[in-house]
C-alpha cells in the first residue's frame, strides 16, 4: 500500500505481529504524520516498558535461587540483613519515579503536537448515525457543498478538519492508519484534523459501542493526489446522471414512487429524504452499507431485497418489491456513478 520506506519501528511491529491485520486499518502502518508520530510514541513506550518488565522478571526468577522443597521453621528476625534489600528497593522506586516522569513528559509533548490548527484545512462535517457515516464537504459557497456517505476522498498532504457530530448515540471516529480516535457525542461538538501523506485507501471504523450493528460501521478514506481529488470533488457536486437504459429509468420511477425516496436523497431527482445515506453517487463508492458489501449490482439488489437479513437491526425497512422491480432498482442504483 505504501510507497515510502518502512520505518524501523513499524518493521519491528509488523514482525512482532506476524502479519496480522492489513495496512489499511492499523496503528502499525501509518499513512500520515500523526499516525507516524503515534507509532514512534508506541514504540518508545513499548521498548522502555519491555525492558523494565524484563528486569523485574529476571529479579523475580532469581528470588527462587534459595528455594526450599518443604516448609521450614520461619527465619529468625535479623535487622542487619534488611539493609541491602532496603537500598535496592529504594533505588528501584527512585528509578520508577524517573521513568514515569520521563514518559509523562514525552506523552505531554506528543499531545501538544497533535493539536495543530491549519487555516488551509479542508473542512468536512461528519455526522455518525446508527450505523453509517454522513460526510458533508463544507464550502464558503453553499452550492459547492456536497454530501456523501461512508466513503470520503482527501487530497494527499492537505490537512482535513473533521467536525464531529452524533445525532443519535455516541460513536467514535477512528482511522488508525492516519490518527488516533475521537468520539462523536450527542449534544457536543468535537473535531479532529487528519493529514494523509501517502496516497492510498485507509479504512476507518466506529470504535465506540453504538448498538446492534456496531461491528458494521466502517468507512473509507481515499487519499489521492490533489488533481485527482479535485476531479472527484467536481464529479460529486454533479446531480445524479440521467438513466441510460430503460430498465434504469423504470428503476428510478420505482425508487421515487416507493418508500425509498422518503429516506434517501438523490440530487437531481425529487428524492430528498435525509434519514438514510445520500445515494446520488452511490455506485462510485467501493462499499455499501458502511463497509458491509462491495458495491456490485448483485449486492445492491440483495441489500434492497432484504436489508434486515444482511445487517439485522439497521434502520432500513424491507420494501416489498417484485423480482422485476428489484432488478430495475438495482440497475438504476448501479448507474449512479
Partner 1 sequence: MSVAPEEPEVLDRRLDAAALDRRLDAVWQTPRGLWAALATVDHKIIGRRYIATAFVFLALGGLLAVAMRLQLARPEARVMSADRYNQVFTMHGANMMFLFAVPVMEAMAVYLVPLMVGTRNIAFPRLNAFSYWMYVAGGIVLWGAFVFDMGPDIGWFAYVPLSGPQYAPGKRADIWAQMITFTEVSALAVAVELVVTIFKQRAPGMSLDRIPLFVWSMLVTSFLIIIAMPAIMVASTSLILDRLIGTHFFNPAEGGDVLLWQHLFWFFGHPEVYIIFLPAVGMVSTLVVTFSRRPVFGYLGLVLAVISTGILAFGLWVHHMFVTGLPRLGESFFTGSSMAIAIPSGVQIFCWLATLWSGRPVLKVPLLFVYAFLFTFVMGGMTGVMVASVPFDTQVHDTYFVVAHFHYVLVGGAVFPLMGAVYYWFPKITGRLMSERVGRWVAGLVFVGFNLTFFPMHLLGLAGMPRRVYTYPAEMQWGSVNLFISLSALVLASGFLLFFWDAFRSLRHGIPAGDNPWDAPTLEWATSSPPPSYNFARLPVVSSAYPLWDERDALSVATGLRPDRREVLVSSVADARPEARESSPRNSIWPLWTAIATSIMLVWSIFTPWAVVWGSIPIATALIGWFWPKGVPEDDA
27 binds partner 1 (CB under 8 A): yes
Three-point CA angle 175, 179, 183, nearest 5° = 70
Closer residue to partner 1 (CB): 181 or 258:
181
Closer residue to partner 1 (CB): 57 or 230:
57
Residue given cell 484534523 in the structure block: 193
Give the separation between CA 282 and CA 118, rounded to whole angstroms: 31
Q: What is the closest distance, in whole angstroms, from the C-beta atom of residue 14 to partner 1 in the complex? A: 10
302 binds partner 1 (CB under 8 A): no
Q: Which of 9, 33, 36, 38 contacts partner 1 by CB under 8 A?
A: 38
235 binds partner 1 (CB under 8 A): no
Q: Which of 18, 185, 46 is nearest to 106 (CA)?
A: 46
Give the other-Cβ count within 10 Å of 197's Cβ. 18
Q: Which of 6, 17, 234, 244 contacts partner 1 by CB under 8 A?
A: 17
Q: Which of 2, 7, 12, 103 contacts partner 1 by CB under 8 A?
A: 103
Closer residue to partner 1 (CB): 299 or 335:
299
70 binds partner 1 (CB under 8 A): yes
Please, what is the angle between helix 83-114 and helix 33-62, to 10°? Answer: 170
Query: Is residue 73 classed as helix, strand or coil in its secondary structure?
Result: coil
Residue given cell 460529486 in the structure block: 236
Q: Which of 2, 7, 12, 92 contacts partner 1 by CB under 8 A?
A: 92
5 binds partner 1 (CB under 8 A): no
80 binds partner 1 (CB under 8 A): no
Please, are residues 197 and 159 in contact by the beta-carbon 8 Å criterion?
no
Q: Give me Rg for the CA atoms of the chain.
A: 27
Q: Which of 100, 230, 231, 244 contacts partner 1 by CB under 8 A?
A: 100
Q: What is the closest distance, in whole angstroms, from the C-beta atom of residue 49 to partner 1 in the complex? A: 4
Q: Which of 1, 4, 11, 111 contacts partner 1 by CB under 8 A?
A: 111
Residue given cell 440483495 in the structure block: 302
Q: Is the dihedral of CA 311, 312, 315, 318 positive or negative?
A: positive
What are the φ/ψ torsions at residue 107 (nearest 5 degrees)? -60, -40
* Cell numbers linked to 309: 437479513
163 binds partner 1 (CB under 8 A): no
Residue 127: strand pairing partners: 134, 165
Closer residue to partner 1 (CB): 87 or 337:
87
171-190 binders of partner 1 (CB under 8 A)? 172, 174, 176-177, 179-183, 185-188, 190
Q: Which of 297, 285, 291 is nearest to 333 (CA)?
A: 297
Range in contact with partner 1 (rule: CB under 8 A) among 74-82, 144-152, 267-275, 315-323: 74-82
Q: What is the closest distance, in whole angstroms, from the C-beta atom of residue 323 to partner 1 in the complex? A: 26
6 binds partner 1 (CB under 8 A): no
3-class DSSP string for 215-242: HHCEEEEEEECHHHHHHHHHHHHCCCCC
275 binds partner 1 (CB under 8 A): no
Closer residue to partner 1 (CB): 114 or 234:
114
Closer residue to partner 1 (CB): 100 or 244:
100
Closer residue to partner 1 (CB): 34 or 267:
34
Amino acid at each position: 500500500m505504501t510507497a515510502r520506506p518502512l520505518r524501523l519501528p513499524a518493521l519491528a511491529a509488523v514482525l512482532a505481529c506476524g502479519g496480522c491485520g492489513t495496512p489499511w486499518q492499523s496503528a502499525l502502518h501509518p499513512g500520515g504524520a500523526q499516525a507516524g508520530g503515534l507509532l514512534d510514541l508506541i514504540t518508545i513506550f513499548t521498548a522502555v516498558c519491555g525492558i523494565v518488565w524484563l528486569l523485574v522478571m529476571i529479579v523475580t526468577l532469581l528470588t527462587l535461587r534459595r528455594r526450599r522443597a518443604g516448609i521450614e521453621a520461619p527465619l529468625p528476625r535479623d535487622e542487619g540483613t534488611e539493609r541491602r534489600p532496603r537500598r535496592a528497593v529504594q533505588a528501584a522506586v527512585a528509578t520508577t519515579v524517573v521513568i514515569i516522569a520521563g514518559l509523562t513528559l514525552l506523552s505531554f509533548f506528543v499531545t501538544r503536537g497533535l493539536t495543530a490548527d491549519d487555516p488551509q484545512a479542508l473542512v468536512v462535517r461528519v455526522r455518525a448515525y446508527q450505523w453509517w457515516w454522513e460526510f458533508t464537504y463544507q464550502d464558503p459557497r453553499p452550492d459547492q457543498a456536497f454530501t456523501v456517505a461512508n466513503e470520503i476522498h482527501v487530497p494527499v498532504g492537505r490537512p482535513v478538519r473533521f467536525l464531529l457530530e452524533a445525532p443519535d448515540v455516541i460513536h467514535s471516529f477512528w482511522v488508525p492508519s492516519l490518527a488516533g480516535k475521537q468520539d462523536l457525542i450527542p449534544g457536543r461538538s468535537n473535531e479532529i484534523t487528519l493529514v494523509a501523506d501517502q496516497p492510498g485507501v485507509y479504512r476507518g471504523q466506529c470504535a465506540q459501542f453504538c448498538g446492534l450493528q456496531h461491528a458494521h460501521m466502517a468507512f473509507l478514506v481515499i487519499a489521492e493526489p490533489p488533481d485527482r481529488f479535485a476531479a472527484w470533488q467536481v464529479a460529486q457536486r454533479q446531480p445524479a446522471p440521467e438513466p441510460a437504459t430503460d430498465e434504469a429509468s423504470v428503476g428510478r420511477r420505482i425508487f421515487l414512487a416507493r418508500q425509498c425516496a422518503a429516506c434517501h436523497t438523490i440530487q437531481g431527482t425529487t428524492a430528498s429524504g435525509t434519514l438514510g445515506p445520500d445515494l446520488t453517487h452511490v455506485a462510485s463508492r467501493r462499499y455499501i452499507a458502511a463497509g458491509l458489501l462491495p458495491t456490485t449490482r448483485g449486492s445492491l439488489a440483495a441489500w434492497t431485497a432484504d436489508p434486515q437479513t444482511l445487517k439485522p437491526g439497521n434502520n432500513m425497512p424491507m420494501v416489498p418489491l417484485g423480482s422485476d422491480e428489484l432488478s430495475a432498482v438495482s440497475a438504476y442504483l448501479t448507474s449512479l456513478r
